[in-house]
Structure 1
Amino acid sequence: MEYKDYYKILGVARDATPDDIKRAYRRLARKYHPDVSKETDAEARFKEVNEANEVLKDPEKRAAYDALGRGWQAGQEFHPPPGGGFEQREFHFRPEDMAQFSDFFASLFGRRARASEARARRGEDQNARLRIGLAEAFSGTTRQLTLSEPVVEPNGRLTTRTRTLNVRIPAGVTQGQQIRLAGQGAPGGGSGAAGDLYLEIELDTHPFFRADGKDIHVQVPIAPWEAALGASIQVPTLAGPVNLKIPAGSQGGRRLRLKGRGLPGHPPGDEFVELEILAPVAHTDEQKALYRRMAETFAFNPRASLGV
């Protein structure tokens, strides 16, 4: 049989850290997942990546594998020492678990396997992304998720299992926040517990609100006379319109804060209102005359700061 270089399969160095191995496995598992990959050998590569991860993520199996030595090259003819070559180490797998692995793996780790014993092994944590609207982030929502995951049948054939989860998204979630669903990740080996599922929140863009953490930003147009004289206007918030006092003499770009009007939390975020001054178009002679009187009345050069 051929020697398998698990480090080369995952594309990591032999001194790779557990985090390096985890990142490499997740990247390759996504790349070769049969449900999404367009590679012709995706299923075989996916099983190969899973096998390499099975060995290198486990300190005992990795140490046993490393004990074979570094002189072996991928593809070389390999004959394991009598008894498996791992001295007193003993690894237990169920027959149905062993079916998903290669002869090389079985020659190293399956020699002493016992069908009546199954070593408890915690399942892998899984990650998924969930996109929701800003209004849903403010109020909270419930989403139904359909998850697809690879399953190896006792005969070694790779299939896909789908399952449905109803997930409650709490009010006040933010962009990039992770929600942990305990026990909803990959199933464990033997009597081992299932891993966890981590949902990463992605917020949809909104027509006029922008979220920054728990704070909300919105640009609100006002008329020139509202800016000059001051006014009380209605502005939108995620909870509905509220009144906001515009101080006299406000300029475009000024930011006013509505405390506690952002996404809920402890403490809640704020809403920041940026003023945008819009001048009405003069359509009639009377309106044009009014603009001319303003030009004559105000000694005002809006470009003075530019030196012109």
Structure 2
Amino acid sequence: MKFKDYYQTLGVERSATQDDIKHAYRKLARKYHPDVSKEADAETRFKDIGEAYAVLKDPEKRVAYDQMGSSWKAGQDFQPPPGWDAGFEFSGREAGPGDAAEFSDFFETLFGRQGWGAQPHRASMHAQGQDHHAKVMIDLHDAYRGAKRSISLRMPVLDAQGRVATHERTLDVSIPKGVRAGQHLRLAGQGGPGLGEGPAGDLYLEIDFNPHSNFRADGRDVYLDLPVAPWEAALGASVSTPTPEGPVQLTIPPDSAAGRQLRLKGRGIPGTPPGDLYVVLKIALPPADSEAKREAYRAMAQAFDFNPRTHLKG
């Protein structure tokens, strides 16, 4: 997937005001509208312009897009890093379908198929405030034990000059034991202010896990890639194995092949029922970095009548 520079598409600077962006879009939309333009690529350009404007006209999408930074260039191979949008507070992120279906895979990767639509306007003198949404990154160990964390959120706002800025606030949050990635925590009254005497909206925190050097979660189940020596896999062994709750002794059955999964029941993320921990065996070969070790490999080759490629058809 290629990175799209929406500022370049509209021909504006990253410091452009919202009015600058609107004027640039209107000028280019008139120039490349397929009904009037004589340009050979008018339809494609018109769609690109519309997509760029859909992002940059919306302070919430714009500040999330700007999170990518200015180091990316148009056309570069691109994959958003994990948790790239964590810590940004948005209104109406869970709303109904938008026009993302007309846009590129790049747009969908950042904003999803629904495009972060706005919540419906409540036409009343007294109305509840909008619900807000934010993604927060926690450690996998927090899901095992529960935790109290201070989180900082940044809310997109427009300053007096019409430029996008951020308002920051810090909240103390209780992370419940057993929380899963993708789960939402509701903080009542922490969303947008109400209209008149209406109550404030709620804040929904979407949970995601920071990348871990050993473990990865899938729902309540947790996976660990465990390196084992060839003789441990072939002969069986008892090896010390890390888990999120501390090391355990794991029995490797004899004749275990690479990729075999050993299940530690109930050692996944707590819940009712709890998840499981799956240990995936990976065969680690010792280096042949001395003549004695190379000779040991030669002896092994002589001792075994073994061809690992007999199943391949050619």
Aligned to 2:58, what secondary structure does the other structure show?
helix
Name the counterpart of 2:121. 57
RMSD: 3.4
Name the counterpart of 1:230. 236
CA displacement 1:163-184 (0-9 Å, x = unmatched): 4321111122222111001111
1:194 Cα deviation from its structure 2 partner: 1.3
Name the counterpart of 1:203. 209
Aligned to 1:144, what secondary structure does the other structure show?
strand
CA displacement 1:262-298 (0-9 Å, x = unmatched): 1111111111111111221234444333322322222
Name the counterpart of 1:267. 273
Instruction: Tell me if structure 2 keeps the 8 A contact 1:134–1:204.
Output: yes
Name the counterpart of 1:191. 197
CA displacement 1:201-227 (0-9 Å, x = unmatched): 121111121111111111111111111
1:234 Cα deviation from its structure 2 partner: 1.1
Name the counterpart of 2:185. 179
Corresponding position: 1:218 with 2:224: yes
1:31 Cα deviation from its structure 2 partner: 2.2
1:151 Cα deviation from its structure 2 partner: 9.2
CA displacement 1:2-45 (0-9 Å, x = unmatched): xxxxxxxxxxxxxxxxxxxxxxxxx8899226994999xxxxxx
Instruction: Tell me if structure 1 keeps the 8 A contact 2:131–2:203.
Output: yes
1:134 to 131, 140, 147: 140
1:263–1:33 CA distance, 2 compared to 1 (3 A) = closer
Measure, in 1, the Cα distance between the counterparts of 2:311 and 2:185.
49
Instruction: Tell me if structure 2 keeps the 8 A contact 1:121–1:190.
Output: yes
Instruction: Tell me if structure 1 keeps the 8 A contact 2:128–2:199.
Output: yes
Matched to 1:277, the amino acid is I
Name the counterpart of 2:39. none
2:59 to 1, 8, 32: 32
TM-score, normalised with respect to structure 1: 0.58
Instruction: Tell me if structure 2 keeps the 8 A contact 1:181–1:198.
Output: yes
1:197 Cα deviation from its structure 2 partner: 0.6
- Which segments of 5 or more consecutive residues in structure 1 lack a partner in the other structure? 1-26, 40-52, 62-90, 92-118, 153-158
Aligned to 1:273, what secondary structure does the other structure show?
strand
Give % identity. Answer: 48
Measure, in 1, the Cα distance between the counterparts of 2:157 and 2:234.
68
Measure, in 2, the Cα distance between the counterparts of 1:34 and 1:290.
60
1:300 Cα deviation from its structure 2 partner: 1.0
1:125–1:294 CA distance, 2 compared to 1 (3 A) = same
1:278–1:34 CA distance, 2 compared to 1 (3 A) = closer
Measure, in 1, the Cα distance between the counterparts of 2:193 and 2:157.
10
1:148 Cα deviation from its structure 2 partner: 5.4
Measure, in 1, the Cα distance between the counterparts of 2:145 and 2:216.
16
Measure, in 2, the Cα distance between the counterparts of 1:132 and 1:28.
28
Measure, in 2, the Cα distance between the counterparts of 1:160 and 1:296.
68
Name the counterpart of 2:173. 167
Measure, in 2, the Cα distance between the counterparts of 1:196 and 1:181.
6
1:231 Cα deviation from its structure 2 partner: 0.7
1:305–1:164 CA distance, 2 compared to 1 (3 A) = same
Measure, in 1, the Cα distance between the counterparts of 2:224 and 2:272.
22
Measure, in 1, the Cα distance between the counterparts of 2:232 and 2:270.
31
1:191 Cα deviation from its structure 2 partner: 2.0
1:247 to 253, 258, 277: 253
1:244–1:146 CA distance, 2 compared to 1 (3 A) = closer
After the TM superposition, which of the residue ranges 133-142 and 236-245 deviates more from structure 2? 133-142
1:28–1:57 CA distance, 2 compared to 1 (3 A) = farther
Instruction: Tell me if structure 1 keeps the 8 A contact 2:56–2:62.
Output: no
Aligned to 1:295, what secondary structure does the other structure show?
helix
Measure, in 2, the Cα distance between the counterparts of 1:38 and 1:229.
53
1:146 Cα deviation from its structure 2 partner: 4.0
